[in-house]
Structure 1
Amino acid sequence: MKTKLYFKLSNLNFIKNKDLNKKIGMKPFKWIVKNTFFKYFNQKIKVENQNVDLAEIRKEMTFSEISHLIGFVFVAIVAFYQIYSKGLLFGLTMMIPNTLMNLYPSLLQQENKRRIDIFLKSKTTLTHNN
């Protein structure tokens, strides 16, 4: 966490366009995460009231995002090896769940971090103007 690479990874933004997020299905994915058993997985990134420390939640989101990215890359390497050695179908059966369980959560964290950043920036701006 204290490396330059972690700092670079903590500010990644794969998809900046809200329309592209909609096209790849982030809105239904977000609904699934919020309204199913997935909501119980990482309680540290839950905003329940206005007294929560958004900077701390952003830090936890970054950790979660990077963990999911590492998982995605690792499984993708194994899946591509399996495509080469066993066939396309075998590799795809690994990549589809990998995408849903690692890449999409990472993209969701990026989207949520952008929302937090906008809020924190506006809060800082209001504080400095008063």
Structure 2
Amino acid sequence: MDILIVEDNKELADLLCDFLRAENYTVSAVQTAEEALLLYKRYGARLVVLDIMLPDKDGFYVLEKIRRSSNTPVLIVSAKTEKDDKLNGLNLGADDYIEKPYDIDIMLAKISGIFKRRYALDEITD
């Protein structure tokens, strides 16, 4: 799987999945922190797009769990716009933080950039 989307708003998650699939990414979406950690542990992902406000545990919890075992890129997408929230996410190891509502073209460009920087370098060093 290329991208794991963790977003409690199903309509928003489905829309983002549609856009990403149109760009030829393989995508899965879940709505809770527990589902995210289960799916990530079982299948992995090359990128996690992570909402902060989830119904069971917050996205910071998911980020901390991922960072304990992996350096998979994590892109936080959240309606939380306070400086402290952004700093918390970035200090916990997120690669970027995008505020909702976001422009889909900006989102796609950021995701493309992460893949180019992260995985093109891996191919060069292999």
Q: TM exceeds 0.5? A: no
TM, length-normalised to structure 2: 0.30
More strand by proportion, 1 or 2? 2
More helix by proportion, 1 or 2? 1
Rg bigger for which structure?
1
